[in-house]
Amino acid sequence: MKKNLKILVLLTIIISCKSEKQKRSNIEISYNDCVQSIDTIKMTDGFDFPVGKPDAKKYYNAQKFGVNEHLGDDWNGVGGGNTDLGDPIYSIGKGYVTHAKNIYGGWGNVIRIVHYIDNDNQVESVYAHCNEIFVKKGEYVTKGQKIGTIGNNDGKYLAHLHFEIRNEVGMPIGGGYSSITKGYLDPTNFIRNNRTKKQSTIE
């Protein structure tokens, strides 16, 4: 009888250890799944243009990157003038809004979004002179999400979207024009070369 009791206690210990181990490994699996799904949500799955989705349909780039030392693209509606005032601006990809407010001067309403390409690479998109802003700092956005509308910075310009892509995230806003292009990418080239996740690269 005493021997049987010993065996029973031993068996109980073994069984409870096993189930504890199983429980722990189940937790680990679901934790990993969770982390992976959060990462999948955060990581980009390709990029599109910020106007006229897809492919900037019915818009033209009035001042390309590099022309007059321009650090971005100027997107205008094909109708010209202020015909594009109030047209939608879309996030070029999944990302995290780091700035969404009026900074006045030549910039007006500015939205800045950081896009996570993989664990090591990020780019930032900058949307300037917006008429309206529909997102807040700290918000996650999806590709093609309407984040604002095209503006004219309180009548300073004819309506257009000044749009930049930077591969150095969080630099000062800058001046929009410079002969020094370190940290800036040609936005149109970048989007064309990174339409899908598979091709994504910040080169």
CA distance 188 to 65: 8
Minimum Å gap between C-beta 188 and Zn ion is 13
Q: Which amino acid is at 82?
A: N
Q: Which is nearer to Zn ion, 74 or 124 (CB)?
A: 74
Given the rule CB under 5 A, which residues bind Zn ion? 74, 162
In angstroms, give the least distance from the CB of 163 to Zn ion.
8
Q: Please identify, using beta-carbon distances, which residue of 74 and 84 lies nearer to Zn ion.
A: 74
Question: How many CB atoms lie under 10 A from the CB of residue 154?
Answer: 12
Residue closer to Zn ion by CB (options 115, 162) is 162
- DSSP labels for 41-101? HHB------SSIIIIITTEEEEE-TTGGGBSSEEEEETT-TTTTTT-EEE-SSSEEEEEEE
Q: Which amino acid is at 148?
A: G
**71 or 117: whose CB is closer to Zn ion?**
71
Contact 165, 181 (CB under 8 A): no
Instruction: Point out the residue whose Cβ comes nearest to Zn ion.
Output: 162
- What's the min distance (Å) between Cβ of 176 and Zn ion? 5
Residue 110 CB, nearest approach to Zn ion (Å) = 12
